[in-house]
Amino acid sequence: MQRHHEHHGHQQPQQEYVGHDEHQKQLADVRQDLHQARQQHSHHDKHAGHRPEIFKRRFFICLVLSLPVLYYAPMLQMWFGYRAIAFPGSEWVAPILGTIIYFYGGWVFLRGAWRELHSKIGMMTLIALAITVAFIYSLAVSFGLRGEPFYWELVTLVDIMLLGHWIEMASVQGASRALENLAELVPTVAHRLVNGRVEDVQVNTLQHDDLILVRPGEQIPIDGEVTEGASSVNEAFLTGESRPVTKHINDEVVAGSVNGDGALTVKVTRTGEQTTLSQIMRLVEEAQSSKSRYQALADQLAYWLTLIAITVATLTFIVWLAFAPDSTFAINRAVTVLVIACPHALGLAIPLVIVNATAMSAKHGILVRSREAFERARNIQTIAFDKTGTLTEGRFGVQRIYTDQIDELKALRIAATLESLSEHPLAQAIVQEADRRQIQFTKGEDFQAIPGSGVEGTVNNQRYRVGRPEWVRELKLTFPAALQAGLKESESRGESAIVLMDDQQVLAVFGLADQVREPAREAVARLQEMGVQVVMITGDAEAVAKTVAEDLNIDRYYARVLPQDKASIIRRLKAEKPTAFVGDGINDAPALTEADLGLAIGAGTNVAIESADLVLINSSPLDATYALKLAKATYNKMLQNLFWATGYNVIAIPLAAGIAYSFGILLSPAVGAILMSVSTVVVSINAMLLRRLRLRG
């Protein structure tokens, strides 16, 4: 890692680039590639090709159409003691509206069942089978078959299932836009140098060895090597490096990083898919398309319940057809079994818990982006944190001041006076420390920024310089032994050192470092109390990583980690134990998608947020502990709800089949509907009880 630092002058506003149409075309290509990647594994999803809006629209339309059906239902008239208004043809209200609801509202389930028949039957098959049997039987009754139609059971079953799937899909709304955000990071136009002239060209037309000009304040459009100029470049988005890195001739620069106050001439070294940014985009896309899907317990139960329902209904029909006085009784029993075997509550068991957990998460500053996040989070045994911006503030603070022949406060006053005219992060750290100590600045004169070195100016008629330690040797000034020892000590801790000089010697050394966030200490302690191993991953140097790790009592850390290596480390950690990753930068996106659970710091980049399962809105690592605690409680509620949603079938299905008929006990569809309603109410109340959990206690 380079320890050379340059001070910025007043940064120029970033250039507004042209080529909007071309940029939009590139973004459209990214969307197309991402869509194709999703399509490759979409056949495994019961919601493949569906959007929340589909279920939402159909639910409300079917709900309105269901009201007349419920109003004319004989069973409801008997329960509530009213007589429906009769008019010529009123007996056809339920059949007509029931038919519309079956085809319009039930179509998504019928199509889903068709897909499941080509892979593995489950919830969609069960729903489709129940509504189809209920519809065909009810329609047959309307045209003369003896029996009681199931129209109101049919329409309420469709309504509840549409509601449940709408809630479920709404909880996972938002196909990841990470690749689009990555594509938007770099400019579409570059300043190419041709025979001493500057011409603006599209970035995708640049060739290997082309020379481009990067002006102060601009983003670097492509990977390359500096051939002329010196400047500091902010690479934090790509490398995780918390401080701008000084670039000289022969140094590499990366697309997407931001140039400082010096102009650079860059020779193109990588184009197209070879650039660092493109490789990160590929890693994110691969992680998205290859991440294994968590098979929800509800789907497993639906699979077995479907097999049981079909088997029991078939046996019921055969047995009663042999022993019943007429076939209508046998048909009625079989249909009742199928209708009862598809409880309304099963469709809501998981989504209701997720919605309540999501609302509770939001209240505590946690945004849920993945429906599987809570199921996976309960097993997490290792949590890896990115350092910069997650465990640390991502901004510098003065850690120590070494002085010689000058008072510490006076040294800080002089340095802050000069640095107040600079926008460099290290300069701002000096100024903020002076503000914290309530030091009044002295008026400076003849201020001048020296690219790649520092700043100089006159304070109280004395010339001073503040800049990188290497500047001392260039100016051939005296460097007292005590201050050299201080510099060595500061650098051994991975701190960034800048020096204050007059015309003869070095007067002070300031050790600056990225400051550890106070919530990070509590977060690490709590996680370790929960038995979760804490790991730190950073692109910073070994000394920096070691200092922060010791400060936070973290035993395991990785330093100097490149973007592509973060995902590899997470992969190795996953092989040992279920692993979560917390990060905030672009370089964290592949690791976030690779981890069993990705948590993005809310103040980070859109790419990190869009690649994560959970987003810590308040940017506090302490929220990661709340997420894991809530996940365990959520999973328990899911298990309880699945029990309540399906447990009654152990009794209801045999009774519906007529097993207690000889004892005068026969479960009618109406009673079965009551049991389904009770089951739904129990599931809803149980999900609401999740909100009583105290996360911060």
> Which active-site residues does the annotation give?
386
For residue 47, what are its two tokens? 């919601």
In the three-class reduction of DSSP (H, G, I as helix; E, B as strand; rest coil), residue 538 is classed as: coil
For residue 448, what are its two tokens? 């001048």
396 touches 513 (CB < 8 A) = yes
DSSP 101-159: HHHHTSHHHHHHHHHHTTS---HHHHHHHHHHHHHHHHHHHHTT-SS---HHHHHHHHH
User: CA gyration radius for the chain?
Assistant: 33
What is the 3-state composition of the chain as percent helix, strand, coil, each rounded to the nearest 5?
55, 15, 30
Q: Which residue type is seen at 351?
A: P
**Total residue count of the chain as it appears in this document:** 697
Cα–Cα distance, 554 to 525 (Å, whole number): 9
Cα–Cα distance, 65 to 100 (Å, whole number): 8
Helices then strands, counting H and E runs in the chain, come out as 26, 22
Which among 487, 492, 493 is positioned nearest to 547, based on CA atoms? 493
223 touches 270 (CB < 8 A) = yes
In the three-class reduction of DSSP (H, G, I as helix; E, B as strand; rest coil), residue 368 is classed as: strand
Cα–Cα distance, 240 to 537 (Å, whole number): 10
Which among 186, 132, 183 is positioned nearest to 154, based on CA atoms? 132
DSSP category for residue 49: T
DSSP 243-262: S-EEE-TT-EE-TT-EE-SS
| Residue located via tokens 């699979």 | 303
Cα–Cα distance, 474 to 499 (Å, whole number): 13
DSSP category for residue 294: P
Q: Which residue type is seen at 44?
A: H
DSSP 678-695: HHHHHHHHHHHGGGG--S
235-254 burial: b if 16+ Cβ within 10 Å, else e: bbbbbbbbbbbbbbeebebb
Cα–Cα distance, 400 to 403 (Å, whole number): 10
Cα–Cα distance, 697 to 682 (Å, whole number): 27
Cα–Cα distance, 304 to 220 (Å, whole number): 57
Residues 6+ apart with CB under 8 A from 15: 187, 215, 217, 218
CB count within 10 Å of CB 442 equals 13
For residue 55, what are its two tokens? 């279920």
Which among 583, 492, 497, 579 is positioned nearest to 544, based on CA atoms? 492
For residue 249, what are its two tokens? 């001739």
Cα–Cα distance, 577 to 48 (Å, whole number): 31
